[in-house]
Structure formats: C-alpha cells, structure tokens
Amino acid sequence: MLDFNNTEIAFSSKSKKELQNAYMLYTVMKYPWIVKAGKWASNIAIKIHFPLAWIVKPTLYKQFVGGETLEECRKIVSYLEKFNVKSTMDFSAEGEQTPKGIEATFHETLRSVDNAKANPNIAYAVFKPSTITRDEILCKASEKRKELTIDEIKEFREFKERFMALCRRAYDNDVRILVDAEDYCFQDAIDELTDEAMREFNKERPIVFATLQMYRHDRMPYLQRILDDSIEKGYYPGIKFVRGAYMEEERKRAAEMGYPDPICKDKQATDDNFDAGVAFVVEHIDRMELFMGTHNEESNYKLAKLIDEKGLKRDNPRIFFSQLMGMSDNISFNLSHAGYNVTKYVPYAPVRDVLPYLLRRAEENTSVKGQTGRELRMLQIEMNRRKKE
C-alpha cells in the first residue's frame, strides 16, 4: 500500500549525518526573517563579489543542487538510479541577460540534451525560455507583438531559432524536453513556440512538453485546444503540470496594468484545476504523455490511484511523477518503491550562478503552508526510528 509516511523508504538513500544536516537546514528555513536576512546578505555579497561557496556549498547547495557541472552530477544520477528514481538535469544558472550570457546558457542546455541521450537514467531535458533571450523581448512579443521594432523583431527571431534548435536537438537525440512555464506576461509567446515545436517534433511520440501552470484559470481550455489541435494536425502532445510559482507577482501586475487577474480565486480552485488537468491527460493517455511536478501529497495519491483504477501499468512510460531534489523525498521514494515512474529535478550550476534559484527554494519552503513542517516531521520520525534499531 502506498504510504507517504513511510520514512524508512523515504530516507533509505540518506545517511545519519545527511539526515541531521537536512534537519538543521530546514529548521533554519522555518524562520522567514532568517531567510529574508540571508537573501539580503547574499545579494550584497554578489554585488561586491564576496566569496560565498564556503557557506553555501555545505548547506543550501548540498541539499538542493546536484553539482556545478553535468560531470559532477553523474554521481547523484547513478545514486538515484539505485532506488529506481530517474533524473532530470536542469541548468539553473541565472546570469545576466547579455548576448554572451544567453549564448553560454543556450550551448550548456544543448550539452544537457546530449548528456540525456547518453544516460538512460536521465528521463528528460529541460530549459527555461527566459534564459535564452531578454525578458523585455518575451514580454513585448507576448503582449505587444505589433509594436516590436526592427531590432526587436530580429532579436525575437534569434530567440525562436535557439528555442527550436533545442527542440530539434532533443528530437534528433530521442530525448524528451520540458519547456518551463514562466510569468503570465511572457507565456503567450512561449505557448506559441511550444505549440509549433510540438507540431513539428511530436509526430511519432511526445518529444516537446508544454508546461501548464494550473493556478491560471485559463489552462483547462488551453489543454483542450492542444488536444483538438493534435488530433487535427496529427501529433502527440507532452504535458507537464505544475501549480505555479509567481502568484503574488501576477496579481500585483494584473492590478497595476489593468487586466483581469489570471490566477484562480483560491487554493482550492487551483487544486481542483490541477487535478482536473491531470485526469484529462490520463483519460487521453493513448495520444498524450504526462509529467506531473508537485509536492502536494494529495495530488500524488490521486494520480497513483487513477493509474491503478484505469488498469494502467504503474511503470507506464507515458506517465512520470516528479519532485525537486532535496524536497519531498517521502513522496518520491515511496512512489518509486511502489513501482511508479519518478524523476527528480536535479539543478546544476556554479554556486554564484545558481544562488537565485537556491534562495527561491528557501523562500518556497518558508512560504508554502506546511512544507517545512512536513520535512522536519518526516526527518525527525526517521531519526527517532533509527535510534531504536
């Protein structure tokens, strides 16, 4: 029986010392003022080029990041495979959006796609569209396309070429690639290119995956349009579901810009929207594939139950569960132990470049209701259990 409270299975991959280190880290993240102070100090340290690796690497970095390079991540990829957990390598550097920085990120993402081809323990490649262009271009192309200048049109065309080149490389390598979702003001342009890429590269099987943030109330109609379009044009959509990451910013911007709030009215509506989307894809699993990224225990239980009720094999290659490295191991490892497909998002990048990602993880664990408390409770139960052995 699937039980996310089984800490023996959940932390079978961790030593006593690793459990203690994780417990101390989550204890610190329990206090919002410490996280805010740490973010403030880190931002100053970055500006003055103060060395941070000595304090970050043994703490946040070790918990949430696989390594500085793909080569360094091989150890964690191989280790996860022992527990029937696949990996999804995510280049999480967030450098300046300069031509040099954009080009470097693009080429590193190409390397990650090639790396996935060479390793059967890596389930997907992934990229964040805003890392291969400028925010201003994405925003204007989404909201004011007709106002793009000649230079901006050229810049958007170059972004599209990089976007499609990543999808092409994934297709050539037979590697599934996830297109991350972003802010509402960027998403129309991203959806447009993702739709185009799916039509071109998903003729035989899903290669390119659209990401739907289900805290947006318009995502179910969009999902239906994707299905209808795929039937009409003859391709197989890949769909990744997340709840969403920018709610407060989205509502604030909608109010400032005077357009309707794109976010569901409350958490329950978001949960219902998310679960409805997942059920929709399972209902059409003969021509779609599903990647469900969530730390919500109830949604994971629901999908596991739905797979069994539909008479699908637990390791059906069209369905994957996913959680972030360093979080919700009670979900990931219990699912994999029960025979379901699981992949961990494994971020990688140099310490300084990945720091914004790490600070968001710390803030997320502080702000998401119950997240830090659940992690601490599970870790404490397992440490107590091992003391009795």
The strand pair at 319-324 and 289-293 is best described as parallel
pLDDT of residue 244: 87
Q: CB-based burial of residue 152 (10 Å sphere; 0-12 exposed, 13-18 middle, 19+ buried)?
A: middle
- Quick check: 64 and 324 in contact, CB under 8 A? yes
195-247 confidence digits (pLDDT tens)? 999 999 999 999 999 999 999 999 999 999 999 999 999 999 999 999 987 77
pLDDT of residue 361: 65
103-123 confidence digits (pLDDT tens)? 999 999 999 999 999 899 999
**What is the C-alpha to C-alpha distance for residues 366 and 372, in angstroms, rounded to an integer?**
6
For 37-94, the DSSP string reads HHHHHHHHHHHTT---HHHHIIIIIHHH--BSSHHHHHHHHHHHHTTT-EEEEEE---
Closest among 325, 324, 273 to 299, alpha carbons compared? 273
**What is the C-alpha to C-alpha distance for residues 292 and 221, in angstroms, rounded to an integer?**
18
pLDDT of residue 96: 74
**What is the C-alpha to C-alpha distance for residues 307 and 294, in angstroms, rounded to an integer?**
17
Query: How far is CA 102 from each of CA 49, 139, 157, 167, 303, rounded to the nearest angstrom?
Result: 21, 17, 14, 17, 37
pLDDT of residue 368: 54
| pTM for the structure as a whole | 0.92
**What is the C-alpha to C-alpha distance for residues 370 and 351, in angstroms, rounded to an integer?**
28
- Which domains, and CATH codes, for the chain? 7-388 (3.20.20.220)
Name the 3-class secondary structure at 192: helix
**What is the C-alpha to C-alpha distance for residues 272 and 214, in angstroms, rounded to an integer?**
9
- Quick check: 116 and 175 in contact, CB under 8 A? yes
The residues of the chain scoring below 70 in pLDDT are 31-56, 58-59, 95, 360-370
The strand pair at 122-127 and 177-179 is best described as parallel
pLDDT of residue 245: 73
Which residue blocks in the chain are alpha helix, DSSP H? 7-10, 16-29, 32-47, 53-56, 62-64, 70-81, 99-117, 135-143, 150-173, 184-201, 219-233, 247-257, 267-283, 297-309, 329-337, 351-367, 371-388
- Compute the Cα dihedral for 371, 5, 213, 121 and give only its sign: positive
Residues recorded for the chain? 389
**The two structure tokens encoding residue 114:** 């090639």
**What is the C-alpha to C-alpha distance for residues 136 and 156, in angstroms, rounded to an integer?**
10
Phi and psi at residue 228, in whole multiples of 5°?
-60, -45
Q: What is the CA radius of gyration of the chain?
A: 20
Closest among 30, 69, 5 to 347, alpha carbons compared? 69
Name the 3-class secondary structure at 129: helix
Closest among 223, 230, 170 to 199, alpha carbons compared? 230
**What is the C-alpha to C-alpha distance for residues 262 and 181, in angstroms, rounded to an integer?**
14
